[in-house]
Chains A and B, each alone.
Chain A
Amino acid sequence: MSRPPGRKQENHKIHFLVCFIFDIHLFWQSRELFVLTYGALVAQLCKDYEKDEDVNTCLDRMGYGIGVRLIDDFLARSAVKKCRSYSETADTIAQIAFKMYLGVTPSVTCSSPAGNEFSLILDQNPLVDFVEELPAERASLCYCNLLCGVIRGALEMVHLAAEVTFLQDRLRGDAVTEIGITFLRKAEDRKHKRNK
């Protein structure tokens, strides 16, 4: 390809952001369109980048851009109160946010004694409705890495730094799909900023 890859990425970003954010609201009516749009995006990124890590990073970055905006939409529509602990935060993400935007409710488990690592186990993942398995040359692709970026971006806007990754992925042959959220530092006790 003679065009520089960075330029194409910008077009994708804007195009995708527009589609994704509006699609979320029409989710139940045009769920297929939403899922297909996501698939088309991942396919195009695979064509643009050779390495799986690059695709994953790109998806994560796009997700971050969506997350920083989606958080206000979530807070405006769900009117949740400030979360007072990490486990409340993880529960809110799983039970309210996932339900609102993807229509599924993952189950939450705390996977560290310190109380700052959580796993969300997804039985159903609408984004992979039409995907059976990853192609052989894309074995380490995180197909839904966008979701990780979204969660990370959203948490950052409410002043909670977190690392979000896919710990297990059905598409890569694991038993379940598991998203791990690790809250990085103790939320500072700042009056009106501590949250979600």
Chain B
Amino acid sequence: MSPRKEVPGARRAETPCAGAVPGAGRDVSSGRAVTSAPGRAGGAMAIFSVYVVNKAGGLIYQLDHYAPRADTEKTFSYPLDLVLRPHDERVVVAFGQRDGIRVGHAVLAINGAEVNGRFTADGKDVMEFLSNPANYPVSIRFGRHRLSSNEKLMLASMFHSLFAIGSQLSPEVGSSGIEMLETDTFKLHCFQTLTGIKFMVLADPRQAGIDSLLRKIYEIYSDFALKNPFYSLEMPIRCELFDQNLKLALEVAEKAGPFGPGS
């Protein structure tokens, strides 16, 4: 597989040109696209996150190692040409995608202050704030909403159930559960130990060496979590040494890139 020479973040955010003539003069100033993905040149592979799920399906450890974020911040004048609507606990863009602001992106900050769900930092409702002409011009930052820890817990439990369903669907007896889940933007690799703990790694689809990384994470877990006498089994892992060694292992695996051993 030939390594692609492009920055992964660039695939997601279209940076607006500095001198572009805005549509109908709605932008007061040309937008500043903030790409917060760390600059990685050519053939950059990434491991996005690691999840550890206990026997009962509860998430006991989660690490976001690299989250490609493309936030876009722009200043707007009244009336706003994007259609916003509340969704769950956030305000998302429903229509009017342009310039790096996509449908589904959530309002992350208004005038530099991070919003708190559907309310601004001061406690005002975001939708009301933005429908009042007196508050304009206003600078709004849009971006993909990061999962909250509750959402991660729910998703991990859901995956735990799907994993079991995977082994039941199998036409052969004694099949393993789901080992890999592939999408166009990431691959989820899952390794279940013989004691029932699952280690999941979300990585770039081209990243190789994840199998050996999963074994390495198992070793790190058995060393720094299990051998810590103050760690209770099946409980959330809060061991500093485990964090440090895990991050080291992830960095080593990333450096190996797409030509590492195994897949």
On whether the beta carbons of A71 and B195 are closer than 8 Å, the reply is yes
Encoded as 1 (CB less than 8 Å from any B CB) or 0, chain A from 157 to 190 comes to 1100000000000000000000000000000010
In the assembled complex, A77 has its CB within 8 A of some CB on chain B: yes
Q: Is the CB of A73 within 8 A of B167?
A: no
Q: Which of A15-23, A100-108, A110-118 contacts B (4 or more CB under 8 A)?
A: A15-23
Nearest CB of chain B from residue A73's CB, rounded to whole Å: 4
Q: Which of B62-70, B144-152, B217-225 contacts A (4 or more CB under 8 A)?
A: B217-225
- Interface size of B by CB at 8 A reads 24
Please tell me which stretch of B84-92, B170-178, B200-208 contacts chain A, meaning at least 4 of its Cβ atoms lie within 8 angstroms of it: B170-178
B192 beta carbon closer than 8 Å to chain A:
yes
Contact indicator A72/B193 (Cβ below 8 Å)? yes
| Residue numbers in A under 8 Å from B175 (CB-CB) | 191-192
CA distance A64 to B177 in the complex (A): 29
A79 to B218, CA, bound (A): 11
A75-B167 in contact (CB<8A): no
Interface residues of A toward B: which range?
20 to 34
A14→B168 CA distance, assembly (Å): 41
Q: Take A72-B218, A73-B222, A191-B167 as given contacts and tell me if A14 and B174 are in contact as well, using a CB distance cutoff of 8 Å.
A: no
Q: Judge whether A193 and B196 touch: CB under 8 Å.
A: yes
Residue ID in chain A nearest B223 by CB atoms: A73
Stretch at the interface among B39-47, B100-108, B121-129, B226-234: B226-234
- A69-B226, A72-B218, A75-B222 are known; give 7 further A-B pairs, CB within 8 A: A18-B229, A71-B195, A79-B215, A158-B194, A158-B195, A191-B174, A195-B194
Q: 8 tightest A-B contacts by CB?
A: A73-B222, A69-B226, A72-B222, A76-B219, A76-B218, A17-B229, A76-B222, A195-B194
Measured CB to CB, the residues of B under 8 A from A are 167-168, 173-177, 192-197, 215, 218-219, 221-223, 226-227, 229-230, 233
Give me the interface of A with B, judged by CB distance under 8 Å.
14, 17-18, 21-22, 68-69, 71-73, 75-77, 79, 82, 157-158, 189, 191-193, 195-196
